[in-house]
Amino acid sequence: MLKSKLLKGIVAAAVITTSGVAAEFTLKFSHVVSVNTPKGKAADFFAKRLEELSDGRIDVQVYPSSQLYKDSAALKALRLNSIQMASPSFSKFGKLVPQLAIFDLPFLFKDMDHLHRVQDGAVGDKLKALVNKKGFYALAFWDNHFKQLSTSKDKPLLVPEDAKGQKFRIMSSKVLEAQFHSIDANPQMMPFSEVYSGLQQGVIDGQENTISNIYTKKFHEVQKNLTLTNHGYLGYLVVTSKKFWNSLPSDLQADVTQAMKEATIKEREYAQQLNDEQLEKIKAYAKKTGKLTVHTLTPEQIAAWKSAVSKIYPKFYSKKKIGEDLIKATQATK
């Protein structure tokens, strides 16, 4: 009897929020990165803000660094309501919602502002609706950032012809395969964990990644040329358990939506700041060592790349792939 009362006391204490109010709902937010990353900081911001907005009625518990689940297992856990929120990369939805591969299409987005207008507009709403049909409730798009191209070859990647015959690591993606084939390069699927050694040993010549991935994994230290192309995008989709979402009264759903809106603004700011800071560190490394050259494309060079790779867009017009309507709506977004 004493043990039972003790356990009940522990459980009761676990759902008392910082406001001192007993929570009506518990939201476990699982993600795979550290707390000091843009995603990690935004998750913590969301947790604090939602507890404020809900007056402690929702207790938000953030579990970073795969403490609960890796991204590959998070979607199943959401369906079971074992966790209530996660923020997997788009690639984790590949088989469920292939339309999210729209973000892989090269040179589809003019800049970050255009990308965010697409995500926050009609195209983003359509993508979220497709995700919602799969048993989740999609809340927001969060940034990693745009991808850049690098190579170990002496010749920099300034025009599409420079990539001819080179072996580039890609993650599993039909879009990325088509992208590199369109410029007569050889795409090589390889786990992210093997990219550094692959570059170092010459198994692959180059890779495409965001500045944060390039810097933290030290890819720039085993490459001779880095070209700032901003040709593709890596991001995350924040989703919640549909069972959890449907259990919330409308006023708390509104609180979740508002907290996520504010957290998304923060996350994008954090991601941009980190991208800029780490790019400067890569440039400083290049200047200090002379082992790397960082290149910025001219408008004419960007146009040449876009002309070469945009020829793959029609290959993904099928509704079973991305869809012509989504691609053209993205292009038309002002």
* Confidence (pLDDT) at 15: 55
Residue with tokens 């198994």: 203
Q: Distance (Å, rounded) from C-alpha 151 to C-alpha 223? A: 5
Burial class (CB within 10 angstroms; exposed 0-12, middle 13-18, buried 19+) of 287: exposed
Q: Distance (Å, rounded) from C-alpha 120 to C-alpha 239? A: 15
Strands 167-170 and 186-189: parallel
Whether residue 272 contacts residue 145, with contact meaning beta carbons closer than 8 Å, is answered with: yes
Instruction: Answer with the residue of higher pLDDT: 314 or 10.
Output: 314
Q: Distance (Å, rounded) from C-alpha 124 to C-alpha 118? A: 6
Q: Name, in order, each residue with C-beta under 8 angstroms of 1's C-beta and a sequence gap of 6 or more.
A: none
Inter-CA distances, 332 with 110, 278, 300, Å: 11, 32, 22
pLDDT higher than threshold 90 for residue 313: yes
* Confidence (pLDDT) at 20: 65
Query: Which is nearest to 237 in space by CA: 102, 53, 60?
Result: 102
* Confidence (pLDDT) at 261: 98
Give the tens place of pLDDT for each residue, 297-307.
999 999 999 99
The overall average pLDDT reported for the chain is 94
Q: Distance (Å, rounded) from C-alpha 26 to C-alpha 58? A: 6
Whether residue 146 contacts residue 210, with contact meaning beta carbons closer than 8 Å, is answered with: yes
Q: Which fold has domain 2-332?
A: D-Maltodextrin-Binding Protein; domain 2 (3.40.190)
pTM to 2 decimals? 0.91
Q: Name, in order, each residue with C-beta under 8 angstroms of 316's C-beta and a sequence gap of 6 or more.
A: 101, 102, 105, 174, 175, 178, 322, 323, 327
Q: Mean pLDDT across the stretch 70-86? A: 95
Q: Distance (Å, rounded) from C-alpha 7 to C-alpha 10? A: 5
| The two three-digit tokens of residue 326, written as one number | 């989504």
* 3-class state of residue 79 by DSSP: helix
Q: Distance (Å, rounded) from C-alpha 196 to C-alpha 212? A: 14
Domain boundaries, the chain: 2-332
* Bridge partner residues of 151 (DSSP): 206, 225
* Confidence (pLDDT) at 72: 84
Inter-CA distances, 19 with 47, 57, 193, Å: 13, 9, 42
* Confidence (pLDDT) at 57: 98
Q: Distance (Å, rounded) from C-alpha 152 to C-alpha 159? A: 16
Beta strands in the chain (DSSP E): 25-30, 58-63, 85-86, 136-151, 167-170, 186-189, 206-210, 225-228, 233-241, 293-296
* Bridge partner residues of 170 (DSSP): 189
Give the tens place of pLDDT for each residue, 261-300.
999 999 999 999 999 999 999 999 999 999 999 999 999 9
* Confidence (pLDDT) at 130: 97
pLDDT higher than threshold 50 for residue 2: no
Give the tens place of pLDDT for each residue, 232-256.
999 999 999 999 999 999 999 999 9
Tell me the DSSP string of 190-224: --GGGHHHHHHTTS-SEEEEEHHHHHHTTGGGG-S
Whether residue 86 contacts residue 78, with contact meaning beta carbons closer than 8 Å, is answered with: yes
Whether residue 171 contacts residue 192, with contact meaning beta carbons closer than 8 Å, is answered with: yes
* Confidence (pLDDT) at 18: 54
Category of 292 on φ-ψ map: left (φ > 0), alpha (ψ -120 to 50) or beta:
beta
Give the tens place of pLDDT for each residue, 101-150.
999 999 999 999 999 999 999 999 999 999 999 999 999 999 999 999 99
* Confidence (pLDDT) at 19: 53
Give the tens place of pLDDT for each residue, 36-76.
999 999 999 999 999 999 999 999 999 999 999 998 899 99
Q: Mean pLDDT across the stretch 154-165? A: 98
pLDDT higher than threshold 50 for residue 13: no
pLDDT band at 16 (very low <50, low <70, confident <90, very high): low
